[in-house]
Structure 1
Amino acid sequence: MAVVMTGATGFLGLHLLQRHLTAGRRVIVLAHVNSPPAWERIEYFLANAGTENVPPALVRKLVDVVEVDIAEDRMGLSRKQHQRLALSAEELWHVAASVTLHRDDAAVWRTNVVGTEQLLRLASSTAPHVPVRHVSTAFVAGRTPHLVTEDDSLHVIEFENTYEKSKHTAEGLVRDWTRLTGRSTLVLRPSILVPGAQWASGLPTHTLETLHHSVAVVTARAKRSTPRLVVRFAGDPRAGINLLQVDWAAEAMMRLAALPHRSGTHIFHVTHPNDVPILTIAAAFEELSPVRIRITPAQPAEPTRPERVLYRRVAGFLPYLHHRRSFSGTRLAQALPQLAPPAPIDRGYLERALGVWAANQSPARGLGHSA
């Protein structure tokens, strides 16, 4: 028997995988057929960013890699392979997702919604006691403006981008399936994840890296007459964004999964107790790029060419520059009273985290995202 896991080679998934392996659990990694070799990513991560050493020989013993297309019928597996996989599962972790915030809407929907449908099809073939752990996002809250509890997000109908809507729809599928089958499902809603205690180059990217890369690309291509390119963004200077260390998120998720859960859907925000002001994020970007960021009440009526390019590249993220809402962490704190809170995330923290990545990247490299 094994943990069956999608998204195990992504930014969050690698941290979850490492914890399963450290506990000596066998894991069947469902790796996307067209992704970089799963074994390379797993072994590189464990060698460079693992907080506990897992011997390579043990990794090869505990991990099986099965290549799939998560949105295809039976994930692209034969009927026999699909059945064998279901019978092998003692726990299902659905971590895979497309976190692209703009463009590629069809691909985002295919991965996040159709992929979840196929994961639930697999879950339906497992033994009745096998639990499902579905990694969603706190941003299923859409445009909810106030302090957001887990229940506030259930019936949201207005979203900032297709990513949010797709994850909300996927959650609905999970809740409906759980109600119909009488199974036990854990829904985990992390906020925007950033590197944790250890950083290493060459690992899957995360949202802030993608944003920083966009700024770097536009800055490098611009013909500047001044030492620093000025970019104006429409936003609220009092706005904040919830960022959370990925290793802390993984630890909280594993502890939640270890708790006894009755049948039904159990939803938890996995978020930081304090939002990071957008001005702090902007200052970190300025420190690492030859750019000055100005937060203005509205988008400029006549944006410069670099601004137009950058607006297109980060269009899906721009609405968050106006957000002043926060996410309730009460349910998580009550479930895990012994879990120490995550470390503060300030300007210095962001500069260190982004600096390790930026030092090993070329501005001409294409944008990536963790899934």
Structure 2
Amino acid sequence: MTVAITGATGFLGIHLVRELLAEHDELIVLVRSSGPTALRRLMRFYAELGTTPAEVRDLRTRLRLVPVDLTAPGLGLRPPAFRALADEIDALWHSAGDTDLGGGLADLRRTNLDGTRGVLALALAGERRPRVYHVSTAFVAGRRRHGTVEEDDLDDSHGFENFYEQSKFEAEVLVRRWATEHARPVAVLRPSVLVTDRAFRGPRPGHPVGILLRRMADTVRQHQEPSTGRGSARTEVRVVGDHEARLNFLPVEKAARMMVRLAASGTTGLVDTYHVVARDDVSVLLLTGLVERFLPLRIRLVSELPAPLSALEFATSLQPALAGYLLHHRRLDASRTWSRLGGTAGTSEPSPPRIDLDYLSAAMRRPPLLGASD
């Protein structure tokens, strides 16, 4: 079986590469940059996953890198090359995406919507009718903050917390429509917030929580008034949130294993949608506690922001990684996921790590405000 993947150098993608290579001898990797540049980056990231030097060297023969532009007609390839590529593929994993929670809609659509359209065109052009595995997000549920989100739910009536969610929602709509129009099976994989406790020594794919810390550090640096106190004085920042709210955090390593196992479990319908989530949610206080551990802030959750706001409070209220998410009480149903995985991981699967403040902190570096980039 010939498997192709996009987004291989991403936070999730590099883990998918590892899991897929455990099942297949070779992968076709669709990359944005030149082959040699992307290969060096993949090898560097792969080494950070605890792989052996021999496994890293083997990437040179086990990965076939094809530079493409997902948003261009024919992926930017000449028609014969595009068709030849399409004719090789038996399974196509689409993990590439723009995860910028603060991005503009046009830019996010270019990657998340137009890029998905390009992947589907590749899947349609091949004679082997490859199965498509589309990595979406549980946050296509948007601003629905209460109740249970079922795996087949795809509803925009609640609106969205940011344009990232909207662009991923639109991409899912496109995937479902494509599957119906062409009678082609698709698996939609919706991970929750992906995290890790693995600290990379060098540059690494964007860690979602690390990105939040960097942005918060930038906000503090730009808007915090100079301290008149001594020592470790903290600035209190009021943020709209609920102490009882909860989010779903899942180790990225486990998410990749779950996705590849789900792919191996076969097809149940035309569009199989899976919530790739942890069984238990965590308190949003874990997120605010992480901010407090790395930045000189004291976060106070309030039901609404009273006037007047400090410049720092106003800027923090606009942070797309905080605004709205500190009010989430919804539950992500994963009945289909657990059913396909046999109820849960079996005895051969290690127990999931406890996601707490120490777990999240282990992967973080000091943000720019405190001396280094994440």
Q: Secondary structure at the match of 2:18?
A: helix
Deviation at 1:80, TM superposition (A): 1.6
Using a 3 Å threshold, how does the CA distance of structure 1 residues 323 and 75 change in structure 2: closer, same or farther?
same
Structure 1 residue 334 and structure 2 residue 335: aligned? no
RMSD: 2.5
- The residue type paired with residue 206 of structure 1 is H
Residue in 1 aligned with 2:72? 72
Indicate conservation of the 8 Å contact 1:281/1:350, yes or no: no
Larger CA deviation: 33-42 vs 66-75: 33-42
Q: Secondary structure at the match of 1:30?
A: strand
Residue in 1 aligned with 2:290? 284
Indicate conservation of the 8 Å contact 2:105/2:167, yes or no: no
Deviation at 1:17, TM superposition (A): 0.6
Within the candidate set 256, 260, 275, 2:262 is matched to 256
Deviation at 1:299, TM superposition (A): 2.3
Within the candidate set 346, 351, 361, 2:361 is matched to 351
Residue in 2 aligned with 1:206? 207
TM-score (norm 2): 0.89
Instruction: Specify every segment of 5 or more residues in structure 2 that has no aligned partner in the other structure, as ranges.
Output: none
- The residue type paired with residue 334 of structure 1 is S
Larger CA deviation: 264-273 vs 198-207: 198-207
Residue in 2 aligned with 1:158? 159
Using a 3 Å threshold, how does the CA distance of structure 1 residues 51 and 242 change in structure 2: closer, same or farther?
farther
Deviation at 1:36, TM superposition (A): 10
Q: Secondary structure at the match of 2:90?
A: strand
Aligned length: 362
Instruction: Specify every segment of 5 or more residues in structure 1 that has no aligned partner in the other structure, as ranges.
Output: none
- The residue type paired with residue 178 of structure 1 is A
Q: Give a deviation string over 1:239-284, Cα, whole Å, max 9, x none.
A: 1111111000000000001112155110100011122211122112
Q: Secondary structure at the match of 2:97?
A: coil
Residue in 2 aligned with 1:181? 182
Larger CA deviation: 17-26 vs 119-128: 17-26
Deviation at 1:307, TM superposition (A): 2.5
Q: Give a deviation string over 1:56-76, Cα, whole Å, max 9, x none.
A: 332100112222221111121
- The residue type paired with residue 216 of structure 1 is A
Indicate conservation of the 8 Å contact 1:284/1:351, yes or no: yes
Q: Give a deviation string over 1:142-196, Cα, whole Å, max 9, x none.
A: 1222111112335656222211111111111111111122222111000111115
Deviation at 1:367, TM superposition (A): 9.0
For 2:35 and 2:58, the matched residues in 1 are separated by 24
Residue in 2 aligned with 1:167? 168
Residue in 2 aligned with 1:191? 192
For 1:298 and 1:263, the matched residues in 2 are separated by 44
Residue in 2 aligned with 1:32? 32
Using a 3 Å threshold, how does the CA distance of structure 1 residues 51 and 301 change in structure 2: closer, same or farther?
farther
Q: Any runs of at least 4 consecutive aligned residues in structure 1 with deviations exceeding 4 A, and if so which?
A: 51-54, 154-157, 364-368
Using a 3 Å threshold, how does the CA distance of structure 1 residues 350 and 307 change in structure 2: closer, same or farther?
same
Q: Secondary structure at the match of 2:127?
A: coil
Using a 3 Å threshold, how does the CA distance of structure 1 residues 67 and 364 change in structure 2: closer, same or farther?
farther
For 2:238 and 2:373, the matched residues in 1 are separated by 22
Using a 3 Å threshold, how does the CA distance of structure 1 residues 367 and 139 change in structure 2: closer, same or farther?
farther
For 1:353 and 1:121, the matched residues in 2 are separated by 37
Larger CA deviation: 342-351 vs 78-87: 342-351
Residue in 2 aligned with 1:228? 234
Using a 3 Å threshold, how does the CA distance of structure 1 residues 365 and 315 change in structure 2: closer, same or farther?
farther
Using a 3 Å threshold, how does the CA distance of structure 1 residues 184 and 290 change in structure 2: closer, same or farther?
same
For 2:227 and 2:272, the matched residues in 1 are separated by 52
Q: Secondary structure at the match of 1:268?
A: strand
1:264-283 pair list within 5 angstroms: 264-283=270-289
Q: Secondary structure at the match of 1:173?
A: helix
Structure 1 residue 306 and structure 2 residue 312: aligned? yes
Deviation at 1:344, TM superposition (A): 2.5
- The residue type paired with residue 243 of structure 2 is P
For 1:241 and 1:220, the matched residues in 2 are separated by 27
TM-score (norm 1): 0.90
Structure 1 residue 57 and structure 2 residue 60: aligned? no
Indicate conservation of the 8 Å contact 2:200/2:363, yes or no: no
Q: Give a deviation string over 1:276-305, Cα, whole Å, max 9, x none.
A: 211122112212222111111112422212
Residue in 2 aligned with 1:17? 17
Indicate conservation of the 8 Å contact 2:161/2:323, yes or no: no
Indicate conservation of the 8 Å contact 1:30/1:67, yes or no: yes
Deviation at 1:219, TM superposition (A): 3.2
Indicate conservation of the 8 Å contact 1:33/1:69, yes or no: no
- The residue type paired with residue 131 of structure 2 is P
Q: Secondary structure at the match of 1:37?
A: helix
For 1:346 and 1:364, the matched residues in 2 are separated by 22
Larger CA deviation: 253-262 vs 8-17: 253-262
Deviation at 1:33, TM superposition (A): 3.5
Indicate conservation of the 8 Å contact 1:214/1:310, yes or no: no
Deviation at 1:88, TM superposition (A): 1.7
For 1:191 and 1:35, the matched residues in 2 are separated by 31
